[in-house]
Amino acid sequence: MVQVETVVLGVAGAVAGAALGGLLAWYHATAGLDMTRLTDQASFSYMGVAFSERIHFVLSPTALVQPVAVMLVVALLSGLWPSMTASRLDPAPTIAGRT
């Protein structure tokens, strides 16, 4: 039961994060990130790297799927300890409130 709850919460978080993150990355891939708000010059350099006024992101399916997969694996692993602890409990005293 605990693992099912972990999977449901992990999938819900993965879907919400992928949707919001994908939309934000898509916006910055098409419109670009305006760097002129950080400086008063048209272009600037930082540690020898020259930046233009707009930086466009690169959006790929791997960049969207890989974090979701990693997050689901971490959610499953983090649910192991509570589920193993809950499986060792005797349900009758626990339900009655006498632990």
41-84 per-position pLDDT tens digit: 766 777 888 777 788 888 899 988 999 999 999 999 999 999 99
97 has pLDDT over 70 = yes
Length of the chain: 99
**Residue 76 is assigned to a structural domain of this protein:** yes
**Residue 93 is assigned to a structural domain of this protein:** no
The average confidence (pLDDT) of the chain is 86
How many domains does the chain fold into? 1
Domain residues for the domain of 72 are 2-88
**Residue 58 is assigned to a structural domain of this protein:** yes
Cα separation, 80 vs 45, in Å, equals 48
pTM for the whole thing? 0.69
Predicted local distance difference test score (pLDDT) of residue 52: 76
**Residue 41 is assigned to a structural domain of this protein:** yes
20 has pLDDT over 90 = yes
Whether the CA torsion 40, 45, 46, 47 is positive or negative: it is negative
**Residue 96 is assigned to a structural domain of this protein:** no
